[in-house]
Amino acid sequence: MKAASGRIRIIGGHLRNSRLNVPDLPGLRPTPERVRETLFNWLAPTIAGVQALDLCAGTGALGIEALSRGAETVQFVEPDASAADALRDNLSRLKAHGGEVASVDAVRFLQRTPQRFGLVFLDPPFALQLWAPLTRTLEEGGWLAAAAQIYVESPRGQAPAVPANWALHREGHAGEVRYALYRRIGSDPLS
């Protein structure tokens, strides 16, 4: 699902009403404005200063929205070269400081030395069924801060299995998409 004009809008923060150029790529599903608005209302008390990971970035709308609203840094991960280039161009054009793009798939990215993130956006291409390996690696690989929040998009009616210490905080549905925000609780496996 792509905006007809090939552009989507940032809805809040200092980049509010800025437009992101969206490449015409098969399977690219920018998170709709209504869902982003709901998500960032949920995140409002905790977004300032957070280090975030947009693991299956696509357009980067979630991560750029986070930068616009006060996230300190966002690591974008996008394997498609055209999408990664468009993301870099959008970050540069908007002077959205704190964003870095890695042109690699999410599984390979998580094989690197971990860095702790307080917020993770996990919206993989639905057809690839990546939720189980990515959530497991995020949790077991040391990628999450002790009280991290993890946003997950999946097909409606299909709540992916997540680690036992991820407590569902809020969820909703939009069209054929389920979106949910989890909060990590309990002990840190690397402590």
Q: What is the pLDDT of residue 187?
A: 54
Q: Are strands 19-21 and 7-9 parallel, antiparallel or unpaired?
A: antiparallel
pLDDT at 153 over 80: yes
Which amino acid would we find at residue 66? A
Instruction: Give the global pTM.
Output: 0.91
Share of the chain above pLDDT 90, in %: 80
Structure-block tokens of residue 149: 């929040």
Look-up of token digits 């840094």: 73
Query: Is 189 a domain residue?
Result: no
Range of the domain at 13: 7-184
Number of domains in the chain: 1
- 2 or 51, greater pLDDT: 51
Domain CATH for 35: 3.40.50.150
Give Cα separations from 133 to 14, 20, 30, 129, 161 (angstroms). 35, 30, 22, 9, 10
Query: Is 191 a domain residue?
Result: no
pLDDT tens track for 45-88: 999 999 999 999 999 999 999 999 999 999 999 999 999 999 99
**Angstrom distance (rounded) from CA 73 to CA 63:** 9
Contact 72, 45 (CB under 8 A): no
Query: Is 1 a domain residue?
Result: no
